[in-house]
Structure 1
Amino acid sequence: MTSLIDRLWYGGKRPLWPLYPLVWLYRAIAENRRRRAWQARDERIPVPVVVVGNITAGGTGKSPLTAALTALLQAHGWQPVVLSRGYGGKAERYPLLVTPETEPDEAGDEPVMLAAESGCPVVVDPDRKRGALWALEKKLGNVLLCDDGLQHYRLPRDVELAVFDGARGVGNGALIPVGPLREPLERLSSVDFVITNGGYLDAVEHDHQFTMSLAPSELRNLVTGETLPPERLQGQSVRAVAGIGNPGRFFDTLEGLGAKVRPHAFADHHRFTPDDLQSEAGEWLVMTAKDAVKCRKFAPDNTWVLAVKARLPQSFSEAFMASVNHCRQSLDSNETARTHHG
């Protein structure tokens, strides 16, 4: 499926051009939803709200970026809370406070991974605004970080980051279903930062475009917890499985580390079974941290998780923190004025 999507959406042509009437319909519906959501907004959330998302379908590296932003905020004395819709999970009730031990079937794979990777409170709720207000009611933190919520306009936001895959870029530049765009490129004029995962995009014009790289940080045995440096993959035969938005990037990373890769790509958010984790004698089974949270109950002893960390330039870190601090000052000033007026 991934290779088919790459051919249809991420090549230079638009083989699905006969579907353009659906593009106009999709755009009209999306713009109407956005307009109605903005009109229905009430007062701002009383803490800074940061939204990480994308305007393209498929994996771009949003979750590693979200984890990196939580670490950056913590380093500057903030207490971040991650908000997620919990795609792939179904809880009995919402909002749901997620821990590293929460079942992915209940919360979704990415929230469980983020809870484990960041050490921050993670709140899942399909209604992100309800989740945000609940997090503040429970005093879980003082800045909200929404993972994959760029099109969820009911949630007021102060800082927006749009993430692109540097290799795929904007694809053929068309909206769904002809191309990969969820929103027109003009949407980028209203975001604060554009982050490209692995290379600068000439097709995107933005005053605050920064590049990000995903660097392998460690190998962790999913059964024993043993850790090894990623360099141990050099020359190792690997059965690589990935149920993520862009599995090709994961396989390329393994090959770049010198592994002899036998890849198997699954659909994004795939629900793994023991049969999916078969390997041959002498092979290591290697997967992403996002997939690992769904396999920890039945993974074989030769299962290794390749952890990655997002690396961002210092110039971005300074600009991002300046934006968050400005939000706090603005909110404090508004609260002071409101109190004085009252």
Structure 2
Amino acid sequence: MAAAEPALLRAWYRSAPWLWLLRPLELLFRGVSWMRRRAYRCGLLSVYRAAVPVVVVGNITVGGTGKTPVVIALVEALQARGLRPGVISRGYGAARGAVFPHRVGADSSARDCGDEPLLIHLRTGAPCVVSPNRVAALRMLLADTTVDLVLSDDGLQHYALGRDFEIALMDASRQLGNGFCLPAGPLREPRARLNEVDYLLCRGSDDPRHGVIYESQGLVRVIEETNAAPAAIPAPGSAIHAITGIGQPQQFFASLEAAGFSLSPRVLPDHHPFSAADFAGLDDKPIIMTEKDAVKCRGFATPQMWFLKISARVPAPLLEAVAALAHPRS
């Protein structure tokens, strides 16, 4: 399964010695990144400040760190408090030619808006607008929607977007790889950037203040209604096809193995645009995928296709800090 990772990604997290050859390019990247951020701080480039608080959930590493489940958990916690959160996202994985900004709705597809925003909207019902230009997404969201607070799914480095609170996620086991910036390492900004965020979350840590745990809520059929006979929920111990296109597939597979399933794993690239052809020849046993993958398969799913529903458990101090922001500006 590790072989499914891109070679450069493996090198970053195994501190391959040859990466030192890329240090001159890393220094150039650091310099450009510093000058760009400095331009925003000095007012040379404009920053859009919204009339409501904006919370950015992001990271400084390349690849998935579980941001989307954290955004969902925050949205649900705010809704439980009677607040009205909205969400903006880049919409990575949308089809070429997709029109932005795009307001995500029940009829949206992952090709229109990307898999993660679609998942957030389907799970929470929160208003969600997608655009690579997050300021444009925020303007559309606020134009005809009343919200108390806006969560930005990713966008820590999108400095044109003013923010009131920053949450950074880091993988507790992978940490920051070799600690180098691109292209010599996985960092999009130097590690010192983490000292500036308002809250640091560690994926997979049980620290009561900074740990975020991803809990399984069981298997759910990808399609809820079908004319075919109902399929039994795959039982632990049974043989399954485990197929996914996410940033860190090994954690998904580990969850299924811990539940007792016997896996035939298949890994596709992150944000892979699934089609029925991807499942050809896999009708001999149940298929289990992630929920993020499942939202792209609703149009052609069969009764034997299931997803593992996952929810993030975030620290109570973070929930209280974010909820406290959701009040009208004076």
TM-score (norm 1): 0.87
Q: Distance in 1 between matches of 2:101 and 2:146?
A: 13
For residue 255 of structure 1, give the secondary structure of its aligned residue in structure 2. helix
- Contact 1:198/1:213 (<8 A) preserved: yes
* Deviation readout 1:192-227 (Å, 9 max, x if unpaired): 0011110279xxxxxx96100111113111133599
Gaps of at least 5 residues in structure 1 are 202-207, 333-342
Between the two proteins, the alignment pairs up a number of residues equal to 321
Aligned pairs (5 A) from 1:173-322? 173-199=179-205, 210-224=210-224, 233-278=235-280, 280=282, 282-322=284-324
Distance 1:294 1:12, change over 3 A: same
CA distance in 1, matches of 2:124, 2:183: 35
Percent pairwise identity:
38
The corresponding residue for 1:338 is none
TM-fit CA distance, 1:144: 0.6
Contact 1:239 1:261 (8 Å CA) reproduced: yes
CA RMSD of aligned residues (A): 2.4
Q: Which residue of 2 aligns with 1:55?
A: 60
What is the CA deviation profile of residues 203-254 of structure 1, one whole-angstrom value per residue up to 9, with x for unaligned ones?
Answer: xxxxx96100111113111133599999x54102111111111111111111
Higher RCO (CA 8 Å, separation ≥ 6 residues): 2
Residue aligning to 1:335: none
The answer to whether 1:16 aligns with 2:1 is: no
2-side partners of 1:197 and 1:279: how far apart? 35
Q: Which residue of 1 aligns with 2:100?
A: 94
1:89-113 CA distance string (max 9 Å, x none): 1465432110233011111111111
Map of 2:78 onto structure 1 = 73
Partner of 2:35: 32
Q: Normalized per residue, which structure has more helix?
A: 1
Are 1:112 and 2:96 counterparts?
no
Q: Which amino acid aligns with 1:271?
A: P
Q: Runs ≥4 in structure 1, deviation > 4 angstroms?
A: 225-230, 279-282
> Are 1:2 and 2:5 an aligned pair?
yes
1:298-335 Cα distance to aligned partner (Å, 9 max, x none): 2232100111000123233234334x25xx47x32xxx
SS in 1 for 2:119: helix
**Cα distance change of structure 1 residues 103 and 244 upon mapping to structure 2, 3 Å threshold:** same
State how far apart, in whole Å, the 1-side matches of 2:146 and 2:127 are: 7
Secondary structure in 2 matching 1:10:
helix
Matched-pair contact (CA < 8 Å) for 1:277–1:300: no
Q: 1:233–1:254: 8 Å Cα contact kept in structure 2? A: no
Question: 1:279: how far off?
Answer: 5.1
Match of 1:99, as an amino acid?
Answer: G
The alignment partner of 1:19 has SS state of: helix
In 2, Cα distance between equivalents of 1:190 and 1:156: 15
State the distance in 1 between where 2:99 and 2:26 align: 35
Could you tell me how far 1:7 is from its partner in structure 2? 2.8
Answer yes or no: is the 8 Å Cα contact 1:289–1:307 preserved in 2. yes
The residue type paired with residue 236 of structure 1 is S
